[in-house]
A = this chain, B = another copy of it.
Amino acid sequence: MIRITREADYGILLMTNLTRAEGQPRSAAALARQSHLPLPMVSKILKTLARASLLTSQRGVQGGYSLARPPVEISAADIIGALEGPLAITECSGESHDGCSRQDECEVSGHWPRINRAIHAALQSISLAEMSRPDAPRPLRFHSPSRTEIAGIVDRAV
């Protein structure tokens, strides 16, 4: 349906593992072992997350990475955004709308920002703290909400 890269996927996994480390720094190598992911990949991802200020890094012998903020203050949107760049859901819905040759008829200004906001709100509503609890943290609802019901809900979020 909608794709995020594997980097972001791994990134979330690594962040949840770091959450469980409870503040003590973990080296890239340790996290790679724990996550069964190739070390170079893990290194690359952690570096990116550190540059985005989601992680703090400590160099040297006993160094490693740790969360820069408490896990309730880090959202899925933060992590995914850091790893996929700030680019938007589709090209010309990003910042530079200038080069768009079909500005008049594509109506980007209409629907894409709306969709973007909705997705962003959805991702921002999910915290790392929640994601680190694998067990269902709240009861599932067994009647799927009607579309209009959801519309009303997300409506307010957009």
Contacts and interface: CB of A to CB of B under 8 A. Distances in A.
Interface of A is mostly: helix
Contacts of A12: 111
A75 B114 CA distance: 13
Contacts of A133: 110
B154 A121 contact: yes
Number of copies: 2
A132 to B, nearest CB: 8
Contacts of A36: 101-102, 105
A-side interface size class = 35 or more
Contacts of A86: 1
Contacts of A116: 1
Interface of A: 1-4, 6, 8-9, 12-13, 16, 34-36, 75-77, 80-81, 84-91, 101-102, 105-107, 109-112, 114-116, 118-127, 130-131, 133-135, 138, 145, 147, 150-151, 153-157
